[in-house]
């Protein structure tokens, strides 16, 4: 059986993956700690991602890595992102090369294009990067690192630009960019089993009405979303709720864009990025 290391394995997405599993794969989770009710079939590795020795131990014997661990918050500062999002990501890639890992999946984010106005949707992966804060900038850097290791080390790397992934569609913004947990796990499977080498960035969203992000590149790799947002509404009124009139409702990034926006709304909406 092949082995997949999941960093941040005790977080929301790590847990969703641990509960579902991937056929043919043994999962090993790296996290500071794991709750007592963590799925027993997943190997637990308690350790700090910022400790290179812990990373080396965690990745030993693995065929693939899913890198979920990161620091994030809508208004996070640059300095706060340095240790985990930058340094630990690089240490993880070096440890992976040393361990002979062939596939790495990086949890990127919709926020790399969060400052696009909604009227630009649906966006494809090739559209301009418009990060909506320092968290998003760190994800763009992470994608660049994935591309570098694919070219320079012959790895197969995938950046999943995850929309909004949770059990239920909580609000109107999520309705247009939601990713169900089953579909998330399927995208991870596709990424760790895809033939390589090379890097690809994939919009990781379901088939959403009024989609913010086009998922056809993932579909070309075999992705067939099964979880329709309309069947997973927290409240039936969600799709008909009016978007907020401020930057939250006019951008793709929502709360992250709002937390970092200090400009004029009309000027921003007229502007663009090539
Ligand atoms: C993200 O990138 C975050 O990791 C997640 O917690 C959500 O905030 C999501 O984006 C979102 O945009 O809803």
The finding on whether 85 has its CB within 6 A of some atom of ligand 1 is: no
Q: How far apart are CA 133 and CA 115, in angstroms?
A: 9
Which is catalytic among the residues 38, 72, 86, 135?
135
Report whether 28 contacts 61 (CB < 8 A): no
**What are the helix (H) ranges across the chain?**
12-20, 52-59, 78-81, 89-99, 134-153, 172-175, 181-193, 216-220, 247-250, 255-260, 265-270
- Name the DSSP class of 105: E
Tell me the CA distances in angstroms from 69 to 32, 84, 135, 141, one per residue in order.
10, 8, 12, 15
pLDDT band at 126 (very low <50, low <70, confident <90, very high): very high
Tell me how many domains the chain contains. Answer: 1
What is the average pLDDT across 105-115? 98
The finding on whether 251 has its CB within 6 A of some atom of ligand 1 is: no
For residue 271, which phi and psi values (nearest 5 degrees)? -75, 180
In this predicted structure, the answer to whether residue 223 has a pLDDT above a threshold of 70 is yes
Tell me the CA distances in angstroms from 250 to 97, 171, 255, one per residue in order.
42, 15, 11
Least confident of 34-38, 91-95, 220-224, 268-272: 268-272
The whole-number pLDDT of residue 270 equals 86
Find the 178 Cα to ligand 1 centroid distance in Å. Answer: 10
124 is in which domain, residue-wise? 2-270
The whole-number pLDDT of residue 45 equals 97
The whole-number pLDDT of residue 272 equals 74
Which class for 33: exposed (0-12), middle (13-18), buried (19 or more C-beta within 10 A)?
exposed
Report whether 83 contacts 71 (CB < 8 A): yes
pLDDT band at 5 (very low <50, low <70, confident <90, very high): very high
Nearest to 239 by CA among 249, 247, 229: 229
The finding on whether 189 has its CB within 6 A of some atom of ligand 1 is: no
Report whether 12 contacts 72 (CB < 8 A): no
What is the average pLDDT across 232-244? 97
The enclosing domain of 200 has a CATH number of 3.40.50.720
Report CA Rg, the chain: 18
Find the 143 Cα to ligand 1 centroid distance in Å. Answer: 16
The finding on whether 213 has its CB within 6 A of some atom of ligand 1 is: no
What is the average pLDDT across 104-120? 98
Q: Looking only at Cα atoms, what is the longest distance across the chain?
A: 55
Number of Cα atoms under 13 Å in the Cβ half of residue 132 = 27
What are the tens digits of pLDDT across the range 139-180? 999 999 999 999 999 999 999 999 999 999 999 999 999 999
Find the 174 Cα to ligand 1 centroid distance in Å. Answer: 10
The structure tokens listed for 66 are 């899913």
């Amino acid at each position: 059986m092949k082995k997949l290391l999941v960093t941040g394995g005790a977080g929301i997405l790590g847990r969703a993956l641990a509960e579902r599993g991937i056929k043919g794969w043994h999962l090993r989770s790296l996290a500071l700690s794991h709750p007592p009710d963590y799925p027993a079939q997943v190997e637990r590795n308690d350790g700090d991602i910022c400790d290179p020795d812990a990373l080396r131990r965690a990745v030993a014997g693995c065929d693939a890595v899913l890198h979920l661990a990161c620091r994030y918050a809508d208004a996070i500062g640059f300095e706060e992102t340095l240790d985990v999002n930058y340094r630990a990501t690089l240490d993880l890639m070096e440890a992976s090369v040393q361990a002979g890992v062939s596939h790495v999946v990086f949890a990127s984010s919709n926020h790399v294009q969060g400052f696009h106005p909604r009227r630009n949707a649906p966006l494809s992966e090739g559209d301009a990067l418009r990060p909506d804060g320092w968290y998003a900038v760190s994800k763009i850097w992470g994608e660049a690192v994935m591309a570098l290791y694919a070219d320079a080390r012959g790895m197969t790397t995938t950046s999943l630009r995850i929309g909004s992934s949770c059990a239920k569609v909580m609000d109107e913004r999520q309705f247009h960019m939601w990713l169900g947990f089953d579909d998330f796990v399927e995208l991870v499977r596709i990424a760790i089993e895809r033939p390589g080498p090379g890097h690809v960035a994939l919009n990781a969203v379901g088939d959403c009405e009024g989609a913010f992000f086009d998922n056809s590149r993932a579909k070309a790799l075999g992705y067939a979303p099964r979880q329709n947002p309309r069947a997973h509404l927290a409240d039936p009124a969600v799709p008909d709720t009016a978007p907020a009139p401020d930057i939250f409702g006019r951008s793709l990034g929502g709360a992250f864009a709002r937390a970092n926006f200090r400009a004029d709304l009309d000027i921003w909406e007229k502007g663009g990025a090539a």
